Structure 1
Amino acid sequence: MKFSILVPAYNEEQPISSCLNSLTSLTYGDKEIIVIDDASTDSTVQSVERFLDKGVILARRKKNGGRAAALNSGLQKATGDIIITTDADTVVPADWLQRFKSHFKRQGVIAVGGAYQSHNKDKPLANATSVLDQILNGVFRKSLVPNKLSGVNSAIRRNALLDLGGFNENSWWSEDSELGWKLRRVGTVVYDPNNIVSTQYPDTWSGIWRRKFYWGYAMGLKFREQMPFNIKLWIRPMLFMALFLSLLTFLVTIPYGIRMYFVPGLIFLLLLNLLTLIYVPLGAVVMARNRDRASLKTLPVLAVLPLVREFAYVFGMCLGFCKGRVGSIKPSWKEKTNYKDTEDTEKKILI
């Protein structure tokens, strides 16, 4: 079984060396590593060229087209039975491919998704976000998430991917989710919470906001195209909306006495607990399992972080559904040089 590892890269001159060091060190022999430079304006190409003598294949695009377009360019060059996608700021474990292979031996499996955690755990916000994702993806085993695949750690049978037309280049910031939904209709998609890669997480509140805002915005665009009947897609936004409505009802009924505001107040506190406080003890368990000693800095953040992330997600979803359009905002929270442009564009969307 041959694996083709696709690594789309746009202005990743700093982290891509660590990524390629881990990929070229994989113990599995029958593999090819294809880096697709999406018309970078920095020294990404020069960083990749240092690994060409280790078997890395470099594909260069003349025009920036986004992650899905870059992956399709890599797919055209791939010769493996299994296509694996990851990011240029990600480090993988030595037995990464063996773990994927064990799942594809099962009858009917056409795709396998893995887990991810923060590579920059020394940053409290990044670590807290990583712990929260480990709770949702590991402890809850993605039971609240409607998709088992993630762009940073997924493996897909090449023939199944080609049958679906590759990666949807019009699916802004949600090509992995859309692909996962399509694949579930034709075969078995497996999630392995123990196959974990390390990737860079945003380490500022603005970065966390943008990341979730973009995902929500992309989901809003999808909802506007077709309102899917999938209860998992609705759990988180509906829970947040219920929290907001219960708080509003509680505030409005305060002047009428405890008999009126007791029930909405109780509902608000219960929902608030589901979105915030419940993650603190779960986070402590996850960090103890990971032997993470940064709990004193991380646990307090976990009491606030879920609320901020869900608000950003729901806000982005509403904007995307009501008046969003593909390409109207910058595609990545990692492009710090574009933050001001992103803020200006988000203001225009609101007008």
Structure 2
Amino acid sequence: MFFSIIIPLYNRPQEIKELLETLVLQTYRDFEVLVIEDGSVNDAEAIVNSFAGQLQLRYFKKPNEGQGFTRNFGFERAKGDYFIIFDSDCLIPANYLEIVNNSLATNYLDAYGGPDGAHASFTPTQKAISYSMTSPFTTGGIRGNKKAIGQFHPRSFNMGVSRQVWEKAGGFIITRLGEDIEYSIRIHSMGFKIGLIPDAVVYHKRRTNFSQFYKQLHFFGRARINIYKFFPKELKMVHFFPAAFTMFVLLTFITNLFGWQISKLFNLLLAVYILLIFFHAWLKNKSAKIAFLSIIAALTQLIAYGIGFMQDFWKRVIFNRS
């Protein structure tokens, strides 16, 4: 099978350098790489071209449209039997394509997704963020998990679709705000087979500080409401958890501010939750520092998502504004 790897890029020259360095090391060699510069001011043309002798590589520049439509630009020009999309902030294990090729040969999927994890080179903050996004104590536990609730939806940081999917379903119809989930649901609704390849792991850097992480998760919360507008039945109870948690934290603050007796119960519940995160993160990462940072990451994730979710739920569902 010949793979086309499609990577949208926006003002991240150093990230694409590190990503391409990992693709050079792939044990499975039947693939091409398409890097599409999406209206970047700080472009990576020189960096990408430096890999020309090591990879089957094509580089494009286009006006800024967002990641969804930029992937479509790559689909239209890809030569492969199967298209794989990565975010530019990913590192790819050397046996990734070999794992995907063997898995598809054994149990063919029209579209697949894979999990993400933290690389040893990541900073403690990045490892804490990675923990939070994959932890069973946050909504991240449903990502890249065999036991996910409902139909599995591949995410665009680590996702593949066959040429047949592209030819029948087309590409992304929205460019941001949950474009990958909408695409996954639409592919599934057309009868294609979608699944998780558990061993097709990528190392996803995500954000390097908590301020950036907050903005990203606030955006994710809004994106869930955008998906609801396309597919109302896809809004599950688990998606309300961050909003409920955010309201609980606010209520805890208020009860402590006014000295209400029930504040003791709220404080206890919050303390137990924080301790669960701390010790689980410590067990996973073997580091007290990362465990402490994981508390900050988890609270940031849930509150940012919850605020974004409530903001657009109120605006777009209650008041039905676009």
Distance apart, 1:58 and its partner CA: 2.4
Counterpart of 1:205 in structure 2: which amino acid? Answer: F
| Residues 96-115 of structure 1 mapped to structure 2, 5 A cutoff | 96-107=96-107, 109-115=109-115
Deviation at 1:48, TM superposition (A): 1.0
Map of 2:181 onto structure 1: 177
What's the C-alpha RMSD, in Å, of the aligned pairs? 3.1
Q: Distance in 2 between matches of 1:236 and 1:180?
A: 22
Moved more, 30-39 or 185-194: 185-194
**Residue equivalent to 2:320:** none
Between the aligned partners of 1:120 and 1:202, the Cα distance in structure 2 is 16
Task: Say yes or no: does 1:240 pair with 2:240.
Answer: no
CA-to-aligned-CA distance 1:188-243 (integer Å, 9 cap, x gap):
32223432212323222211111101111222333345533442553523542563
Cα displacement (A) at 1:77: 1.1
Q: Which one of 304, 312, 316 corresponds to residue 312 of structure 1? A: 304
Partners of 1:140 and 1:40 in 2: CA distance = 34
Match of 1:284 in 2: 282
Asked if 1 retains the 8 angstrom alpha-carbon contact of 2:18 and 2:91, the reply is: yes
Alignment of 1:1-12 (within 5 A): 1-12=1-12
Alpha-carbon contact 1:128-1:302 (below 8 Å) kept: yes
The verdict on how the C-alpha distance between 1:88 and 1:107 changes in structure 2, with shifts beyond 3 A counting, is: closer
Give matches, 1:329-344, under 5 Å.
none
Partner residue of 2:289? 297
The DSSP-based 3-state class of the residue aligned with 1:14 is helix
Paired with 2:63 and 2:145, the residues of 1 have a C-alpha distance of 40
Query: 2:181 corresponds to which letter in structure 1?
Result: S
Provide the rounded CA distance (Å) in 2 between the counterparts of 1:224 and 1:139. 24
Distance in structure 2 (CA, Å) of the matches to 1:176 and 1:318: 21
The change in CA–CA distance for 1:265 and 1:180 in structure 2 (over 3 A counts) is farther
Q: CA deviation at 1:70?
A: 1.1
Please name the residue that 2:160 is paired with.
155
Partner Cα distance (1:304, 1:252) in 2: 22
Identity of aligned residues (%): 23
SS at match of 1:278: helix
Measure how far apart 1:176 and its partner are. Answer: 1.5
State how 1:95-244 maps to structure 2 within 5 Å. Answer: 95-107=95-107, 109-119=109-119, 121-135=121-135, 136=141, 141=146, 143=148, 147-168=152-173, 170-185=174-189, 186-224=191-229, 226-231=231-236, 234-237=239-242, 239-240=244-245, 243-244=248-249
Q: 5 Å matches for 1:57-96?
A: 57-96=57-96
TM-score of the two chains, using structure 1 as the length reference: 0.76
Instruction: For 1:232 and 1:106, locate their aligned partners in 2 and report how far apart those are by CA, in whole Å.
Output: 35
Does the 8 Å CA contact 2:125/2:209 hold for their aligned counterparts?
yes
Determine the C-alpha separation between the residues in 2 that align with 1:201 and 1:35. 19
**Partners of 1:72 and 1:106 in 2: CA distance:** 28
TM-score (norm 2): 0.83
Aligned AA (2:187):
L
Alpha-carbon distance in 1 for matches of 2:101, 2:142: 21
| Partner Cα distance (2:313, 2:159) in 1 | 28
- What runs of 5+ residues in structure 2 fail to find an aligned partner? 136-140, 317-322
How far did residue 5 of structure 1 move? 0.7
How far is the alpha carbon of 1:179 from its aligned partner?
1.8
Q: How big is the shift at 1:277?
A: 2.9
Contact 2:115–2:145 under 8 Å retained in 1: no
Classify 1:133/1:244 alpha carbon distance in 2 versus 1 (closer, same or farther; 3 Å): closer
CA contact (8 A) 1:134 1:286 kept: no
Whole-angstrom distance in 1 between the partners of 2:58 and 2:37: 7
Residues 280 and 191 (structure 1 numbering): CA distance in 2 closer, same or farther, change over 3 Å? farther
C-alpha separation between the residues in 2 aligned to 1:175 and 1:280?
33
SS at match of 1:61: strand
The equivalent of 2:45 in structure 1 is 45
Unaligned runs of 5+ in 1: 289-294, 325-351
The secondary structure found in structure 2 opposite 1:306 is: helix
Q: Does structure 2 conserve the Cα–Cα contact (< 8 Å) formed by 1:34 and 1:74?
A: yes
